[in-house]
Amino acid sequence: MRLLMISDVYFPRVNGVSTSIQTVGRELVQKGHQVTLIAPSYGEATQDPFEVIRIPSRYLPFDPEDRIMRWGLLPAHRAALRAQRFDLVHIHTPFVAHYAGLALARWLALPVVESYHTFFEQYLDKYIPLVPSAWLRYAARRFSAAQCNDVDALAVPSQAMLDVLTRYGIQTPAEVVPTGIDLGQFSQGDGARFRQRWGIAPSRPLLVHVGRLAFEKNCDFLLRMLVQVKAEIPDILLVIAGDGPALKRLQRLRDRLGLHEQILFTGYLARDGALEDCYSAGAGFVFSSCTETQGLVLLEALALGTPVVAIAEMGTREVLRDGAGCLIAAHEETDFAQQCVRLLREPGLRAELSARARAYARSWSAPVLTERLLAFYARTLHRAEIANERAGCRSRNIADAAPVHAAGLEPLDSEPEPKRSPS
């Protein structure tokens, strides 16, 4: 199968969408399929497991991590793309990529699918504070439903997210198609090496969090929760690996809560061993986002045998099973802190959860879940073939029923009009 993907984000921009595209694309190539991705240029060279066409892009003044592809430069690639004879267009994000993907599908006469990676209803009020939240949520629901109905099929990472979209009133065929993880990459990490690199004592109690530091990720909850953990375990350290627009606010909150010695911000860590070492260094991985469509970092932690303490809402509810490598906490700081203290103080519990975590993560392997994506593609192509056949039949029927006078011919079953005598 020859697949043309398009996204508004991809590495070196770090987030869950980039990770999902890279994981899926790599697996598809390994299974013998062709993948081409259209993505913004960030001015940095990347090593990619498939073809990436970089489109010159513009900075966003309110979000310097992101770029906007210059729409007018896409048509220059039309002939080269047509020559590759793709089977399907797969859109991954709802901005320029959505509309460019629809245009590409029309140019190339291909079916188009989209992955719904981001729960926008829960995001907009974090970035547009002057507009009433209820208005923004309404706009997000209408926007999302309209975009979902633009495409031939929709891939959704979790049933919880699909239920939300169904309430929006989407009409497009939609399926739950989660992203898997590369178990080979997340099979081992060196926690001692991470501690040595960052000057952390070998015996210091350590919790870790990995992810983009965005306002909707609820990371301030972790800082407030840590105040209660500190009361029980004074030398606790929380390592936060990531970056993003909420970093400065989190740093101010850290100082205001008196947690300067209990929190370490590392920035983004490379997926060359540094990230895996970070996961492995912690006695537990903590996660408090309530807006995830899936939550890949949870699976990465579990695959490395790091027990998880998390709030199980939206997509994370389907990833997490209490006892299967994790402790599920209420969305309340005291309960979350108590679960963390329990994990830190009970080595037997940590060992048991670690073993269960590794076993459970195997069910989320990328090769297995990529087969589900391929089946989703196949069903979409089959529906497109049926639709094309029906359209062809309708066209033939219309042509057969149309009067032939327009071609300058007389109908075969018509009689000539009698000539009128001159009056």
- Measured in Å, how far apart are the chain's first and last C-alpha atoms? 73
271-295 as b/e: b if 16+ CB within 10 A: beebbbbbbbbbbbbbbbbbbbbbb
Give the three-class secondary structure for 51: strand
Upper half-sphere CA count for residue 118 (Cβ side, 13 Å):
22
Q: What is the pLDDT of residue 63?
A: 76
Which tens digits make up the pLDDT trace of 334-378? 999 999 999 999 999 999 999 999 999 999 999 999 999 999 999
- State the CB neighbour count (10 A cutoff) for residue 154: 24
Query: Tokens 């004879």 label which residue?
Result: 85
Region(s) of the chain under CATH 3.40.50.2000? 2-176, 191-364
CA–CA distance from 367 to each of 43, 209, 262, 298, 300 (Å)?
Answer: 31, 26, 39, 18, 15
Distance CA 227, CA 296 (A): 27
**Identity of residue 118:** T
Query: Which value, to the nearest 10 degrees, does the dihedral of the CA atoms of residues 306, 310, 314, 319 take?
Result: 30
Mean pLDDT of the chain: 92
pLDDT value at 2 more than 80: yes
Structure tokens at 140: 């997000």
Q: What is the pLDDT of residue 285?
A: 99
- Above pLDDT 70, what percent of the chain? 93
Distance CA 322, CA 311 (A): 11
Class of domain 191-364: alpha beta
Give the three-class secondary structure for 156: strand
296-329 as b/e: b if 16+ CB within 10 A: bbbbbbbbbbbbbbbbbbbbbbbbbeeebbbbbb
Q: What is the pLDDT of residue 411?
A: 37
Q: What is the pLDDT of residue 406?
A: 38
Q: What is the pLDDT of residue 420?
A: 41
* Spatial CA neighbour of 93 closest among 84, 102, 81: 102
Cα 153 to its chain centre, rounded Å, is: 16
The model's pTM? 0.89
The partner residues of 326 in beta bridges, in order of sequence, read 308
Which tens digits make up the pLDDT trace of 58-72? 988 777 789 999 989
pLDDT value at 9 more than 50: yes
Is 413 exposed, middle or buried, given 0-12, 13-18 or 19+ CB atoms closer than 10 A? Answer: exposed
Average pLDDT over residues 7-32: 96
CB contact set of 194 (below 8 Å; sequence gap of 6+): 200, 274, 277, 278, 280, 281
- State the CB neighbour count (10 A cutoff) for residue 144: 20
47 touches 393 (CB < 8 A): no
Average pLDDT over residues 241-261: 97
- Res. 400 pLDDT band, cuts 50 70 90: low
Q: What is the pLDDT of residue 54?
A: 97
pLDDT value at 104 more than 70: yes
Average pLDDT over residues 223-231: 99
Give the three-class secondary structure for 174: strand
Class of domain 2-176: alpha beta
- State the CB neighbour count (10 A cutoff) for residue 369: 18
Which tens digits make up the pLDDT trace of 194-226? 999 999 999 999 999 999 999 999 999 999 999
